[in-house]
Amino acid sequence: MFPAAGESDVRPYAGVDGCRGGWLVVLALHRGEGRHPVAMDVRLCRHFQEVVDLADAPVVTAVDMPIGLTDRFVPGGRACDRDARTLLGPGWTSTIFSPPARAALGAPDHAEAMRRQGGGLSIQSYNIEPRIREVDAALTPATQARIVEAHPELAFRHLNGGRALTSRKHTEAGRHERVRLLREVFGERLPDAMTARRVLGGTAVGVDDIVDACVLAHVAWLIHRHDAYRVPAVEPPRDARRLRMEIWF
């Protein structure tokens, strides 16, 4: 538990990233409008429903996983996917996967998923289909008021003054670059990703998962402060389940 969790002016904000062991959650506890959190915590949830039901009750939870799906295949994916690629620019567009259409959920293999949705689907998107299906089953328009889709690379670009980062997150230089940006917003409370990974289990969680979830916890706080951005900038379209199709950063 957080050391200050009982104080009425202290509230948690969560960043969540899918990982091999389930869902990596970073909680940042802010007192009032204080810029730096008073405490942070890293934990692992096996199922997404555990994220929805967190006893800490985060004010906002930002998740790196598609929320809101098209009914059928759309070239380039959802409007928010296309807008996000435009913002990231050349060399970074591959970090935005077009999610499967709802018609493809539950397909037994990649070929059947494409047949069901009526068009192409990257193998990367197909591989995270179980995670997407888990999120889709857990969320409703009501819960989407506090649990939203966000994207780490957009968030890091925002922290970097709107400029593209110089290195990929899987490289040592890329990790150092992202940690430097995180220290600017979290200060001394920023968890050490290597230590957190050892505690949670190296086969269940990657360092990149922790770094990404950290920046999403900051996005959640920005959303609460009305200082975050989203694509599309206008009122986003809703899918057949009335879920908003949008990406925050």
pLDDT tens, position by position, 86-137: 999 999 999 999 999 999 999 999 999 999 999 999 999 999 999 999 999 9
Q: Which of 135, 159, 175 is nearest to 216 (CA)?
A: 159
Task: Give the residue from 150, 113, 145 showing the smallest Cα distance to 128.
Answer: 113
Regarding predicted confidence, which is higher, 205 or 35? 205
- pLDDT of 8 reads 72
For the chain, give the percent of residues with pLDDT over 90.
94
Tell me the pLDDT of the chain averaged across its residues: 95
State which residues form the domain around 184.
1-249
Closest C-alpha to 123, from 103, 143, 97, 105 = 97
55 pLDDT band, cuts 50/70/90, is: very high
Q: Give 63's strand partners.
A: 16, 149
Our count of domains for the chain comes to 1
What is the model's pLDDT at position 33? Answer: 77
Identify the CA nearest to 42 among candidates 25, 64, 67: 25
Contact 216, 26 (CB under 8 A): yes
CA gap 6, 56 in Å, rounded: 10
Contact 15, 22 (CB under 8 A): no
User: Is 91 buried (19+), middle (13-18) or exposed (0-12) by CB count in 10 A?
Assistant: exposed
Would you place residue 1 in the very low, low, confident or very high pLDDT band (cuts 50, 70, 90)?
A: very low
- Residue pair 103/121 in contact by the 8 Å Cβ criterion: no
Min mean pLDDT across 25-34, 69-78, 104-113, 226-235 is at 25-34
Look up the pTM and report it: 0.94
pLDDT tens, position by position, 169-224: 999 999 999 999 999 999 999 999 999 999 999 999 999 999 999 999 999 999 99
